[in-house]
Amino acid sequence: MITVENLTKYFGNNLVLNNLNTVINKGEIISIIGPSGSGKSTFLRCLNLLEEPTSGKIIIDGVNILDKKNNPNRLRQKMGMVFQSFNLFDHLTVLGNLTIGPVKLLKMSETEAKAQGRDLLNMVGLAYKENSFPAELSGGQQQRVAIARCLSMHPEIILFDEPTSALDPTMVSEVLGVIRRLASDGMTMAIVTHEMNFAKDVSTRVLYMDEGRIYEEGTPSEIFDKPQKEKTREFIYRIRSFNYHINDKNFDLFDLKSGIERFCTKHFLDSRSTLRIQLVVEELLQLCFFEGDRDKRNHHIEDNGGLNICISYSEKNNELSVEFSAHKSLVTILNQVENTDGISINILKGIAYLSETITDDRITLRAVIS
């Protein structure tokens, strides 16, 4: 239905959409998630030409809508858009908001437009409000009118830009309920949202956007239950992390420890967790730098790009972990605990679940703190 090719948008020197490619098929319900500023709104606004893309193609039913010789207004009518801030016509009644478009643009008769408007109000549960003005309605009601108004133009796809984020929490579900209803009626939709549970159960596909690109996409269970790429994981699990790089054995241990302490304070970790992180880090350092064949080990670390320490905390599942990663020549060293007195490894095993992975030329030792 819609094919997006190499869509790029600059605001001045700011690259906001970076060569974005995707296809939206009829009947799909696509959720677009990602950190704020990643270009989600700009993407929707480019799709229906509220913003002019810098380059690329948007092909709808075989026609490139960015091609100047095609009529953008006719093509735009195939798309409805629902905004965070409702954007109703304040001087018109609820029913007036639903009839103006069909009468002026679709050349529908006034009678026909009113009949259609009442049907739509019925569908969104607001038949009794047809003579009210937008200012007399709650936010949730205004947004339901905005959705009805959008439907009054018979769009083939509806683009929603954070339709519930301006609402009082008590009104979110009435609006999501209407969107769910449209989904079950088979409407094609693209929805930018922060409502992760909603996105998970309503959508057929999820796009995770970061830095103006579709960074990862998949089914809801692929994205929400087992995201593959680092930034998606950080976003989904609301991971906060602290990174520290060590280049040689004479690193500043006090600086590292005070960094860990600041991180823990900032994220309100309790003193037990803070102590455990410090202990895990110290024992891992012990294994990496001080036990076994010490000189050999120091050379391994110093000659191969150093050691990265990453402490992360997931706000979603409360998981706390410490990762050490280094060049894979350290693999034998991290494994050679038999050569040591075993104290460090036993302390570690008592408070953390240890696992090791090797990708490309790096080895990562992960300790999940229990």
Residues that bind ligand ADP (CB under 6 A): 11, 14, 16, 34, 36-42
Token readout for 297 is 């080990």
Residue that is written with structure tokens 């995770």 in the block:
208
To the nearest whole angstrom, how small is the minimum distance from the Cβ of residue 52 to ligand ADP?
A: 11
Give the DSSP letter of residue 288.
I
174 vs 195, which CB is nearer to ligand ADP?
195
Pick one of Mg ion, ligand ADP, none as the site partner of residue 37 (Cβ within 5 to 8 A by kind). Answer: ligand ADP
To the nearest whole angstrom, how small is the minimum distance from the Cβ of residue 333 to ligand ADP?
A: 44
To the nearest whole angstrom, how small is the minimum distance from the Cβ of residue 176 to Mg ion?
A: 18
Burial of 283 (0-12, 13-18, 19+ CB in 10 A): buried
Pick one of ligand ADP, Mg ion, none as the site partner of residue 11 (Cβ within 5 to 8 A by kind). Answer: ligand ADP
To the nearest whole angstrom, how small is the minimum distance from the Cβ of residue 36 to ligand ADP?
A: 4
41 vs 152, which CB is nearer to ligand ADP?
41
To the nearest whole angstrom, how small is the minimum distance from the Cβ of residue 238 to Mg ion?
A: 19
Q: Report the C-alpha gap between 150 and 221 in whole angstroms.
A: 30
Strand arrangement, sheet containing 188-192: 79-82, 157-161, 188-192, 29-33, 205-210, 213-218
Pick one of Mg ion, ligand ADP, none as the site partner of residue 297 (Cβ within 5 to 8 A by kind). Answer: none
Q: Report the C-alpha gap between 66 and 57 in whole angstroms.
A: 6
To the nearest whole angstrom, how small is the minimum distance from the Cβ of residue 213 to ligand ADP?
A: 12
325 is a site residue for Mg ion (CB under 5 A): no
Q: HSE-up of 258 (CA within 13 Å, CB side)?
A: 3
217 vs 302, which CB is nearer to ligand ADP?
217
Residues shown for the chain: 370
42 vs 141, which CB is nearer to ligand ADP?
42
Token readout for 100 is 């103006």
> DSSP 3-state assignment of 271?
helix
Among 186, 181, 180, which Cα is nearest to 157's? 186
To the nearest whole angstrom, how small is the minimum distance from the Cβ of residue 39 to ligand ADP?
A: 4
Residue-wise DSSP of 55-110: EEEEEETTEETTSTTS-HHHHHTTEEEE-TT----TTS-HHHHHHHHHHHTS---H
124 vs 199, which CB is nearer to ligand ADP?
199
Token readout for 135 is 């200012």
To the nearest whole angstrom, how small is the minimum distance from the Cβ of residue 214 to Mg ion?
A: 15
Query: One-letter amino acid identity for 22?
Result: T
Q: Report the C-alpha gap between 139 and 65 in whole angstroms.
A: 33
DSSP run (H or E) holding 32: strand 29-33
41 vs 141, which CB is nearer to Mg ion?
41
Binding mask of the shown chain, residues 18 to 57, with x at each position contacting Mg ion by CB under 5 A = -----------------------x----------------
Pick one of ligand ADP, Mg ion, none as the site partner of residue 99 (Cβ within 5 to 8 A by kind). Answer: none
217 vs 261, which CB is nearer to ligand ADP?
217
86 vs 324, which CB is nearer to ligand ADP?
86
Phi-psi region of 236 (alpha: psi -120 to 50; beta: other; left: phi over 0): alpha
Which residues in this chain contact Mg ion in the complex, by CB under 5 A? 41
